[in-house]
Amino acid sequence: MTSQTSTEYEKYYVPEKSKLAICATIGLILSIYGAASIMNDMTFGEPGKATHSWTIFMLGMFFFAATLFSWFRITIKENIAGMNSAQLKKSYVLGMFWFIFSEVMFFFAFFGTLFYVRVLVGPWLGGEGEGGRMNGLLWEGFTFSWPMMQTPQEAVGGAATQLIANNGSFTSPNTNLSFSSAHAWWAWLPLWNTLVLLTSSLTCHFAHMGILAGNRKKFNFWLTVTVALGVIFLILQYMEYHEAYVEYGLTLNAGIYGSTFFMLTGFHGFHVFMGMTMLLIQLLRSVFGGQFTADDHFGFEASSWYWHFVDVVWVFLFLFVYIL
């Protein structure tokens, strides 16, 4: 005769239906459309013609940010009320894992584009390899090198002489932002940006060690330093962009080198801003709300994972965009 034992299952909290996901999607669509319109205006826009690109972009970002604020506010309240079981928290961990994985694939596509341009398309346009047969037809006289300091268009005499595939006027940069072109290592902004971001990864880890030890003062201090370093990184990035546009002539109209440079570093900068904002929210929750304990601090933990992710991405950016 076998005895039956009752098994208690952990209660799983299922939130009510919500329209927040749809609202966030609308905000993202408006933001992406506005950002694309801004870049299009910078390249092909007519001077003085109003396109409302910035208005659409800012409206989308505000709508998206307001949606996330409401969404996270509800989630935090549910956690404080004890509605989140250990099983549900595991689903949050998996959700953050898949979110970061999607971001990895996102940047993998960008790095893949950079590889495609530098290793395949660029040499083809310069007359090398199987695709080099088009050089005489489209870009006769163009020689490929990276960073590309002369656009194919200028190699054939400018937009006026480009009879095929004329997609606007492109101007070559005066110089590039690689280490080999820096006049002094101490004045090379990408180096300082790298040091700042890697240091912020360490300070974020120190903050994590503080909350695990139950030391809120240590946690708040190192998290404040991390957020401050994130702000410094963005300021240095702005200075680099200003230097590129004003002094070097490196713009979105500077051919494929300018496009890939601003696309990779710009999207990474946006992710740094998002990660810094996430960490700032966790800091405010700790300082003013007294939230997070050694056993319950997933909000900060997830934000720190994201921060370490953007740090790792920057290391690859630093190598493939500025060094190699």
**CA pair distance 38, 311, nearest whole angstrom:** 27
Q: Are residues 305 and 288 in the same domain?
A: yes
At residue 273, φ and ψ (nearest 5 deg) are -60, -45
Residue type, 76: I
Q: Are residues 297 and 187 in the same domain?
A: yes
* pLDDT of the residue at 248: 84
Q: Give 299: exposed, middle or buried? Use CB within 10 Å, 0-12, 13-18, 19+.
A: buried
Element (H, E) at 188: none
Which of the residue ranges 79-88, 162-171, 177-186, 251-260 would you say has the lowest mean pLDDT?
162-171
**CA pair distance 208, 215, nearest whole angstrom:** 10
Q: What is the pLDDT of residues 116-148, one digit of tens each?
A: 988 888 888 888 877 677 777 777 777 888 888
**C-beta separation of 253 from 171 below 8 A:** yes
For 193, the token pair is 């940006």
Structure-model confidence comparison of residues 123 and 48, the more confident one: 123
How does residue 2 score in pLDDT terms, banded at 50, 70 and 90? very low
Residue 6 inside a domain? The answer is: no
Give yes or no for residue 58 having a pLDDT over 70: yes
The residue with tokens 């713009």 is 251
**CA pair distance 243, 261, nearest whole angstrom:** 14
Q: Are residues 105 and 226 in the same domain?
A: yes
Q: Give 273: exposed, middle or buried? Use CB within 10 Å, 0-12, 13-18, 19+.
A: middle
| Distances 266 to 91, 238, 259, 262, 263 between C-alpha atoms, Å | 31, 10, 10, 5, 5
Which of the residue ranges 112-121, 180-189, 207-216, 314-323 would you say has the lowest mean pLDDT?
180-189
Q: Which of 253, 154, 110, 71 is nearest to 79 (CA)?
A: 71
* pLDDT of the residue at 3: 47
For 318, the token pair is 């630093």
How does residue 164 score in pLDDT terms, banded at 50, 70 and 90? low
Report the number of distinct structural domains present in the chain.
2
Q: Are residues 183 and 245 in the same domain?
A: yes
Q: Are residues 189 and 65 in the same domain?
A: no
* pLDDT of the residue at 43: 64
Q: What is the DSSP letter of 3?
A: P
Q: Are residues 34 and 57 in the same domain?
A: yes
Q: Are residues 186 and 315 in the same domain?
A: yes
Q: Are residues 254 and 197 in the same domain?
A: yes
For 293, the token pair is 């304990």
Q: Which of 300, 87, 88, 323 is nearest to 188 (CA)?
A: 323
Q: Which of 2, 61, 50, 1 is nearest to 26 (CA)?
A: 61
Residue 191 inside a domain? The answer is: yes
Q: Are residues 67 and 210 in the same domain?
A: no
**What CATH number does residue 210 fall under?**
1.20.120.80
Percentage of the chain with pLDDT > 70?
A: 89
Residue 156 inside a domain? The answer is: no
Residue 27 inside a domain? The answer is: yes
Residue 302 inside a domain? The answer is: yes
Domain that holds residue 29: 19-42+52-79
Q: Are residues 69 and 110 in the same domain?
A: no
Residue 157 inside a domain? The answer is: no
Residue 37 inside a domain? The answer is: yes
Q: Are residues 184 and 211 in the same domain?
A: yes
Q: What is the pLDDT of residues 213-257, one digit of tens each?
A: 999 999 999 999 999 999 999 999 999 998 888 888 888 777 788
Residue 294 inside a domain? The answer is: yes
**CA pair distance 219, 212, nearest whole angstrom:** 9
Q: Are residues 88 and 58 in the same domain?
A: no
